[in-house]
Amino acid sequence: MPKILDIITNPDPILRKISKEIDSKNIKSRGFQSFCKDLILTMQKKDGIGLASPQIGKNIRIIVISQKDGPLCMINPKITKKSWAKEIAEEGCLSVPFTFGDVKRHKKINCLYLDLGGEKKRLKAEGLLSRIIQHEIDHLNGILFIDKADNIKEEEK
């Protein structure tokens, strides 16, 4: 049974490390598959629209994203192309609770990643999906949205 994992919050140093790539040979292992399921369940139960592995204390390159047609798990995600055009929208993060801020991101991106079957996939994203992927890949590089945000607001706890 998948389990809900604890979310690590700022200023934990784990959130600032560069996460390691996953060896594609390990993707099909039971341990790895169940870890990805835990990550997805944790995102869903904490009402996140995206979650990156360092946020639950593992510095490995996996992100999960909640989508209408089910969760998307991206292993070793890479942005291969970014639109010149950017847009600004408000973001928050489970690791920076009660905090919101405006972040400028590329409007459209192309990505390359491995899926849970270890298959290489390409994805073109725009709008909210593009934003979430950029936010989550930042986590894999030790970057938090507050590093980039303007008009940071903190809600009463």
Q: Footprint of Co ion on this chain (CB under 5 A)? A: 93
Alpha carbon distance 66, 58 (integer Å)? 20
Q: 108: which 2 tokens? A: 């459209």
Shortest spacing between CB 80 and Co ion, in angstroms: 22
Residue, CB closest to Co ion: 93
Min dist CB 10 to Co ion, Å, is 10
Residue 13 corresponds to which tokens in the numbers above? 């140093």
User: Is the CB of 93 or the CB of 111 nearer to Co ion?
Assistant: 93
Task: Judge whether 21 counts as a catalytic residue.
Answer: no
Considering the complex, what minimum distance in angstroms separates the CB of residue 56 from Co ion?
Answer: 12
Cβ nearer to Co ion, comparing 65 with 114: 65
List 136, 154, 155, 156, catalytic entry: 136
Residue nearer to Co ion on the CB measure, 39 or 93: 93
Q: How far is CA 108 from the centre of its chain?
A: 17
Q: How far apart are CA 60 and CA 75, in angstroms?
A: 9
CB 145 within 8 A of CB 132: no
Give the residue from 142, 153, 150, 152 showing the smallest Cα distance to 10.
142
Q: Find where tokens 């639109």 sit.
A: 83
Residues annotated as part of the active site? 136
